[in-house]
Chains A and B, each alone.
Chain A
Amino acid sequence: MGTRISVTVNGTVREADVEPRLLLVHFIREILGMTGTHIGCDTTNCGACTVLLDGRAVKSCTIFAVQADGRAVMTVEGLARDGQLHPLQEAFHQQHGLQCGFCTPGMMMAAYAFLQRTPNPTEEQIRWGISGNLCRCTGYVNIVAAIKDAAEKLRASPARAGGRG
């Protein structure tokens, strides 16, 4: 039943034989051993499993790994470059954009895609942009502040915008 897939994850080609029913999030966490991508609700609601698939933010619990064959996936591990935190990570750190931290990888990946399209967002746009990601601590005030801060950092140094996706 194994299907050979080849997925570029954070810039590195990863190959594996997978069952078609294997979900992308399980491929990332269990086959590749990259546990930054979280499984929260497992029902397409919470966004903890958010990754980029060919640049679009998607819920990896609701996509089969075989669908990513030949495509590019970026996970939270792809944000930092050369040991340097990405401006989004710096902003979440500095603005305390997390409480328990469980939703944080998904929040940052959704924010990463959002800021590429909306580099100078209003608070309203940010809230709309992360409306597919739930924070059970309800720490939204600081999450929104962190994304606003990240937007400013990225506008100041656009060279730091890209991750290893």
Chain B
Amino acid sequence: MIPASFEYFSPRTVPEAVNLLVRYGQEAKLLAGGHSLVPLMKLRLAAPRYVVDLNRIDGLSYIREADGFLRLGALTRHAEIETSELMRGRYPLLADAARVISDPLVRNMGTIGGSLAHADPAGDWGAAMLAAGAEIVATGPGGTRTIPVEEFFEGTFVTALRPDEILTEIRLPQAGRGQGGAYLKLERKVGDFAIAAVGVALALDGDGACRRVGIGLCNVGSTSLRAEKAARLLTGQKPDDATVARAAAAAAAECDPASDLRGPAEYKRDVVRVLTARAVRLAAQRARGGA
């Protein structure tokens, strides 16, 4: 399969890339890892006239803690998050999510920023970032602005990014004591999108009650979803079996899956229920200092 012809740019700086977006607007597409865009172009579902390759811009790939945030450069590859000691040690939600994205070869190219900007409801990072309470940093002609992730996904493949903005960084609250996370995914086979997946981030206080809870759901709605009712049911409570079961049932009720090749909607709802319970328990166990 051969993509339609396009003009190719490989800017060396973010301002140069932004200028190209200003000049070409909706006719330009940004190329990060390319593992969503290139397949779409090969199928001619996308035929941008201008492709702006971000891969030659230095300084967009990093994982670091600074100023109370975990900062991830938009061009950080899934594999870099998967294998990072910092991620495995302090951000298990992200390490879990990274290792179940597609397959190892795709993870060597695909980027966290590209995945979020693509806004596929089946993308794992959307659910993980909703759970984590992330902020998206966008850079445009007027400088940078920060978008809370819960305002970022406006529809299927539609985000709050303006046509002349580039997603340049993802910021998460820096991990502290008593925090835990987990991301669990059910897929038909390695490399497939999720039947459903659930991300959980929580913090336990000294009494073992949940202080802050975020739950994100993948591929069970027209966008990545936040399970707000489920999170509310857990907040201030100890994650005992009855509470976890109530929260899991709430998550199943508030998602909106479609019946398709991956199964009927009722089945997916039940997958959400089971995965939510397991992910909350695993996140709580990690918050207590267990594996």
Please report A residues at the B interface, Cβ cutoff 8 Å: 1, 3, 19-21, 23, 42-45, 47, 50, 56-59, 61-64, 66-67, 69, 110, 114, 128-129, 131-133
User: Knowing A3-B8, A50-B105, A58-B109 touch, does A43 contact B3 (C-beta < 8 A)?
Assistant: no
Residues B55 and A67 in contact, CB atoms below 8 Å apart: yes
Residues A62 and B7 in contact, CB atoms below 8 Å apart: no
Q: Which residues of B contact A43 (CB under 8 A)?
A: 1, 39, 42
Residues A132 and B34 in contact, CB atoms below 8 Å apart: no
Q: Which residues of B contact A45 (CB under 8 A)?
A: 191
User: Knowing A21-B4, A21-B6 touch, does A47 contact B105 (C-beta < 8 A)?
Assistant: yes
Q: Which of B2, B10, B109 contacts A21 (CB 8 A)?
A: B2
Closest residue of chain B to A106 (Cβ to Cβ) is B105
Q: Does B108 contact A (CB under 8 A)?
A: yes
Closest residue of chain B to A39 (Cβ to Cβ) is B1
Give Cα A67 to B1, complex, Å.
18
Given contacts A43-B42, A61-B42, 13 further A-B contacts (CB under 8 A): A1-B5, A3-B8, A19-B5, A21-B6, A43-B1, A44-B39, A44-B106, A47-B105, A50-B105, A64-B8, A67-B55, A132-B102, A132-B190
Q: Per-position contact with A for B180-191: 1 when CB-CB < 8 Å, else 0?
A: 000000000011
Closest residue of chain B to A46 (Cβ to Cβ) is B191
Q: Which residues of A contact B38 (CB under 8 A)?
A: 23, 44, 62-64
Closest residue of chain B to A128 (Cβ to Cβ) is B104
Q: Does B51 contact A (CB under 8 A)?
A: yes
Closest residue of chain A to B37 (Cβ to Cβ) is A62
Give Cα A114 to B102, complex, Å.
17
Give Cα A92 to B86, complex, Å.
36
Q: Does B205 contact A (CB under 8 A)?
A: no
Q: Does B53 contact A (CB under 8 A)?
A: yes
Residues A56 and B108 in contact, CB atoms below 8 Å apart: yes
Residues B8 and A20 in contact, CB atoms below 8 Å apart: yes
Residues B35 and A62 in contact, CB atoms below 8 Å apart: yes
